[in-house]
Chain A
Amino acid sequence: MHAPVDTLDVLGPESRERLALEGLELRLEHVRALSILVVMRTLLIIGTDKGAFLARSDAARTAWTIEGPLFKGWRITAIGRDGGRTFLGVNSFVYGATIQASDDLAKWRQVDGPAYPKDGTRKLTQIWKVQPAGGALFAGVAEAGLFRSDDRGDTWKPVAGLNDHPTREKWMPGAGGLCAHAIVGDPTNPQRMWCGISAVGVFRTDDGGRTWQSKNRGVTVVLEDKTTRDIGYCVHGLAQDARDPNLIWRQDHKGMYRTRDGGDSWEKIERGLPSGFGFPLVREPRRRALYAVPLESDEFRMPPGGALRVYRSLDGGESWAPSGKGLPGEHAYDVVLRGALALDAQDPPGIYVGTTGGTVYASRDAGESWQALPFGAPRVVCLAAFTE
C-alpha cells in the first residue's frame, strides 16, 4: 500500500513539485529508504579537564544524551579523526601526555608515540592537535614539535625539518607554553602544509615537510628576536577556505588576519570586532562563514563587556558581527579556549562552543540562535562535532 505523495511531509513543496514534473511517484518505502540516508545526528565530543564526554543529538539537534566521562580524571587536550578512527590527546600533569585511539568510541588503546628521543633535552608535555593532512596524520605537541604517522596513528616519527628548524633554539613559549597547535593541509597539493606555533609563528612547507619557511609578513611581532625577523609571532588559530587552500584566516595574539596567497602576506581584518584578541577560529565550508570568539585584550582575557559573543563574518572577514541570541549577554566571564569552537557538517551547520565554566552552547541554525546543553561539564578544553 502506497501513501499518497502529499501526505509525506519529509520533502518540501519545491522538491515534491520537481518530482512530479519529472514523472516520479514517491512511495513510502522510498521515503523510508531515503530517511535512512538523510537523517543525521551530531556526535559532539567534549574534551574537558576531567575527561571526555560524548553528547549525541537527535535528528533535530534539540535533544541530547550525554555519556562519559571517558578517561576520567585525565585532561583531554585534542580530538581528531582520520576516517573512522578517533584520536584523543590525553594528558596529566603528573603522568604525561599520550594519544589514545578508538575505532568505535568504546575500546581505546594507547598508541606508540609521539615521543621525543630518550636522553634529549626536549620533553613532550601535551598533545595539542591531531589532524590528517596530505595523506598522512600529524600531531602537534608541546614542547613545540610536529610528528607524522603513515599508519593511521599506530606509530609516529618526528618532522625533523620543523622540529630542528634553524631558528629552533630561539623559539619562546607564550602563555600557553611552547606549542604546535595548528595544522592545515592543502587538499590540492600534498607537499604543502602549514603549522602554527606559539609564540613563534606560522611555518609553511612546500616539499612535504622537508623544509619549512616562516610565513608571517604583515603580522605584528610579539617577541622580537635580536637576530631574525622570522620568529616571535604568536598565532592562536588558523582556518582555511574549503575551495581555495591559499585563503587562510589567522586569529593572532596581535589581531585577526587573512592571507590570500598561502601565507606570503597577511592583512588585518577586524571591522566589527570588539577586539582583535582571541583564540578559536573556524571556517564553515558550505556557507563560507567564519566564526570567532574575541576576548578583551591579552591583559584581561575575558569576554568584552562581560558578554559572551560568537562573532560571525559572512564576507570572508571583511566585516564581523555578533551572532544571534541565546548566549549570556552580561556577567559572563568564562572564556572559550582555542580548541573549544566546533562545527558539524549538517545543513544548516551546527556551531558549538564550550566554556571554561563548563557550559556548552549549541546553535543548530548557523549561529542565529543558541541554547545551552543541559549538562554541567568540567572546564571545556576542546570540542569536535561529527555526523553520525
Chain B
Amino acid sequence: MAHVTVRLPRLLAGLIGGALETTVEADTLAAALDTLIARHPELGVHLFDESGKFRGHVLCFHNEDNTRWLPSLERPVKSGDVITIMQAVTGG
C-alpha cells in the first residue's frame, strides 16, 4: 500500500495530537480518508456532514487536484502523495 501524507488545518490539529500532518497507508483516496477517520474518529464529524459528504466549506485536495471535481474518491494514490484538508471561506 502507498504511504500518503495527510495535512490538516491548525484548527483540527488538536484532534490528531497537535500535529499538522500524519501518514496513512492506502491504495485509494477513499481508503486513505477511511483510514484517517478510523485512526482519529473525532475528525469525522468535522470533515463530513450528515450526508456523509465533505462539509460545504471543507476543501480536500489530492496533490494539486480539488477532490470536489473528481467523479469519485475511488482514485488510486501512490507513495509520496499528499492529501490536504483546508477551509474554504469566502468573503470577509
Chain A residues, CB < 8 A from B51:
118-119
Tell me, yes or no, whether A77 is within 8 Å of chain B by CB. no
Q: Which residue of A lies closest to B59 (CB)?
A: A94
Chain A residues, CB < 8 A from B11:
73-74, 92, 94-95
Tell me the minimal C-beta distance from B44 to chain A in angstroms: 10
B15 and A110 within 8 A (CB):
yes
Tell me, yes or no, whether A124 is within 8 Å of chain B by CB. yes
A122 and B50 within 8 A (CB):
yes
Chain B residues, CB < 8 A from A122:
50
Tell me, yes or no, whether B24 is within 8 Å of chain A by CB. no
A116 and B50 within 8 A (CB):
yes
B55 and A95 within 8 A (CB):
yes
Tell me, yes or no, whether B39 is within 8 Å of chain A by CB. no
Tell me, yes or no, whether B65 is within 8 Å of chain A by CB. no
Chain B residues, CB < 8 A from A118:
50-52
Given contacts A73-B10, A110-B15, A110-B42, contact A94 B49 (CB under 8 A): no
B residues 10-31 in Cβ contact with A at 8 Å: 10-12, 15
Tell me the minimal C-beta distance from B13 to chain A in angstroms: 11
Chain B residues, CB < 8 A from A116:
50
Rounded to whole angstroms, the CA-CA distance of A74 and B12 in the bound complex is: 10
Tell me, yes or no, whether B45 is within 8 Å of chain A by CB. yes
Interface size class of B (residues with CB under 8 A): 10 to 19
**Of residues A96, A98, A117, which shows the largest number of chain B Cβ atoms within 10 Å of its Cβ?**
A96
Tell me the minimal C-beta distance from B30 to chain A in angstroms: 17
B87 and A94 within 8 A (CB):
yes
Tell me the minimal C-beta distance from A370 to chain B in angstroms: 34
A93 and B57 within 8 A (CB):
yes
Tell me the minimal C-beta distance from A70 to chain B in angstroms: 10
Q: Which residue of B lies closest to A98 (CB)?
A: B45
Q: Which residue of B lies closest to A74 (CB)?
A: B11
A residues 81-131 in Cβ contact with B at 8 Å: 92-96, 98, 110, 115-120, 122-124
**Contacting B50 at CB < 8 Å: which of A92, A94, A120?**
A120
Q: Which residue of B lies closest to A125 (CB)?
A: B49
Chain A residues, CB < 8 A from B88:
94
Rounded to whole angstroms, the CA-CA distance of A122 and B57 in the bound complex is: 18
**Contacting A96 at CB < 8 Å: which of B10, B15, B55, B89?**
B55
Tell me the minimal C-beta distance from B66 to chain A in angstroms: 16
A119 and B50 within 8 A (CB):
yes
Tell me the minimal C-beta distance from B9 to chain A in angstroms: 8
B45 and A94 within 8 A (CB):
no
Tell me, yes or no, whether B68 is within 8 Å of chain A by CB. no
A sample of 8 inter-chain contacts (CB < 8 A) reads A92-B11, A94-B87, A95-B46, A95-B58, A95-B87, A118-B50, A119-B51, A123-B50
Q: Which residue of B lies closest to A110 (CB)?
A: B42
Rounded to whole angstroms, the CA-CA distance of A95 and B87 in the bound complex is: 8
B57 and A115 within 8 A (CB):
no
A94 and B57 within 8 A (CB):
yes
Q: Which residue of A lies closest to B58 (CB)?
A: A94
- B31-60 interface bits toward A, Cβ cutoff 8 Å, 1 = contact, 0 = none: 000000000001001110111100101100
Tell me the minimal C-beta distance from B28 to chain A in angstroms: 22
A93 and B89 within 8 A (CB):
yes
Chain A residues, CB < 8 A from B42:
98, 110
Rounded to whole angstroms, the CA-CA distance of A56 and B10 in the bound complex is: 28
Rounded to whole angstroms, the CA-CA distance of A120 and B87 in the bound complex is: 24
Chain B residues, CB < 8 A from A98:
42, 45-46
Tell me the minimal C-beta distance from A328 to chain B in angstroms: 28
**Of residues B10, B50, B55, which shows the largest number of chain A Cβ atoms within 10 Å of its Cβ?**
B50
